[in-house]
Structure 1
């Protein structure tokens, strides 16, 4: 596994551990974000649990490549869904950019793991 792949996994894990934990804890900003896109706090907590699980999968993937690949693939799908939800909510493209960017990083991680 290359240094780039490891660094990318650690960065993605840190981002999703932080954001997922905030969703799980239902901090005020996350409750506001959930309401903005028409989700309940419990649905947002479920997304947070998925993000924390993905972070764990990325870190476990440093030892077991298939877990890292599964976590990256899941994050790509999750972030594609996030972009779709933002667009459906009438958000401008700039508001979709963070989800699109980390989704692209997850896709890059997946490609690197596949040896490409």
Structure 2
């Protein structure tokens, strides 16, 4: 296991955890776009839990590679869905954000 992999995985886990926390505390920079995209409020907690599980899985993957692999794939798929949601809502100014959060997780997958 390389130092690069550990650092990239830690950054990915931190970013995904921050994203989950932002949903849990209902930060306006998250809730306002979710409302604009048409994401039902009843989904927000589940989306936050999915991101939190992804962050925990990325960290656990440092010791159990299969869990890290599954978490990395899950996080990549989650943010792919977020990207599709943003595009379908025609909120093109926000297209970069799902990719920013997905990039470290995808990089960790490739480094694994």
1:90 aligns with 2:90: yes
TM-score when scaled to structure 1? Answer: 0.88
Q: Which has the higher contact order (CA 8 A, sep 6+)?
A: 2
Structure 2 unmatched runs, 5+: none
Q: TM-score when scaled to structure 2?
A: 0.91
Task: State the Cα distance separating 1:95 from its structure 2 match.
Answer: 1.5
| Greater than 3 Å deviation, 4+ residue runs | none
Q: How many angstroms does 1:91 deviate by? A: 1.3
- Superposed, which structure 2 residues align to 1:69-108 within 5 Å? 69-92=69-92, 94-108=93-107
Count matched residues: 112
Counterpart residue number, 1:20: 20
Instruction: Supply the distance in 1 between the matched residues of 2:10 and 2:74 (Cα, whole angstroms).
Output: 16
Q: Please list, as runs of the form range in 1=range in 2, the aligned pairs for 1:1-116 lying within 5 A after superposition.
A: 1-92=1-92, 94-113=93-112
**Which secondary structure does the structure 1 equivalent of 2:95 belong to?**
helix
